[in-house]
Amino acid sequence: MSKRINSTPRRDGFRMPGEHEPHQEILMVWPERCDNWRNGAKPAQKTFVEVAKAIAQTTPVTMVVSAAQFGHARELLPENIRLLEMSSNDAWMRDIGPTFVINDDGERRGVDWHFNAWGGLTDGLYFPWDQDDRVAQKVCEVGRFDSYRAPIVLEGGSIHSDGEGTLFVTEECLLHPSRNPHMNRDAIEAVLCEYLAVDKVIWIPNGLFNDETNGHVDNLIHIVRPGEVVLTWCDNPSDPQHDISRKALDFLASQSDAKGRKIKVHKIPLPGPLYISQEEADGIDVSEGMQRESGERLAASYANYLITNEQIVYPLLDAKFDADVAAMLKDLYPGYLITGVPAREILLGGGNIHCITQQIPVK
């Protein structure tokens, strides 16, 4: 049986591991929302299938799917991808699933954050979001993981842990008035330290330009290993991302992590810039919360990749840079399997491969 624990992970000796630590499986959610995914979500579904197949080379995958889509998903997905029927409002498992914490005895528990669709009634992307807010608890129930209900609104894509006491976040997202307006930075940091057992929070000023999540950290950087990150980089001074990346680099250069290490930064190129085409925009149902209009700039980032069991699954986004990024990842992760998946359809929905996946660590 699983139960809600009226304590905190830090108090109980649990910590959030780094993504580079071993995984038992990867969780995903099947897309079907027609005001976010074009053409009845059919192109996105095909892309999710390819991402799941890529991950399954090294790590088992469980795909959460609605009752209405179960048969269709079962037909498209290979047999080795497990399906789990569960309600949700959309398909961003990184943000709605539990953040897992572990202890030295191999026990695992889930942290269940409050979810409000990236902004609630202030600037959330859709309403209602009640089914998404229940996914973390349901996953813990199904997996028989005890869980903690954290006292703040937070999405999994807005935090990056190195597994050794350091957490990376952006001020733009975590201090946004649509998340926890009653709390200041110190109060939010105290909750993060208690529920993830981190000792230092590194507050990068801003996330990626035009990111509708209010600047999730996982669309700007990725932790390669403790003390080392990749940072989305733009060399064009006339691009608004240029100043954001420069500011982030200068800030990271001034920081040390929880173990006192200076942070080594690798510049990963910004794709594009990429924009929604008229044809793509025409295939999406009208929505109040989400900008899906022709010419809208997409928040495209190669940093939005998944690390799982000595494999990197990264988005193919721009023919000018895809091969260079593959070579860079091979250098950064020697001996890893590097797998690129064409990911524009995920990008059109507002995120990428890291955003649609969530890992369960091994025992």
The rounded distance, in Å, linking the Cα atoms of 94 and 160 is: 11
Which is the catalytic residue, given 140, 173, 234, 355? 355
Name the residue among 304, 170, 158, 160 with its Cα closest to residue 232.
304
Pairing, β 108-114 against β 147-153: parallel
Tell the residue number behind the tokens 């954001």, with chain if given: 244
Instruction: Outline where DSSP puts E strands in 206-324.
Output: 221-225, 228-233, 264-269, 306-307, 311-316
Task: Sort residue 178 into left (φ over 0), alpha (ψ -120 to 50) or beta.
Answer: alpha
Q: Specify whether 355 is catalytic.
A: yes
Q: Do 102 and 108 touch, CB atoms closer than 8 A? A: yes
What distances in angstroms separate CA 133 from CA 63, 127, 137, 174, 325, one per listed residue? 17, 12, 8, 18, 35
Radius of gyration of the chain (CA): 19
* Distance (Å, whole) CA 305 – CA 270: 13
Residue reference for tokens 């801003």: 206
Alpha carbon distance 308, 301 (integer Å): 19
Backbone CA torsion sign across 302, 119, 207, 260:
negative
The alpha carbon of 295 is separated from its chain's Cα centroid by a whole number of angstroms, namely: 25
Asked whether 358 and 63 are in contact (CB, 8 A), the reply is no
Per-state percent for the chain, helix, strand, coil, to nearest 5:
30, 25, 45
Q: Indicate which residues carry an active-site annotation.
A: 355
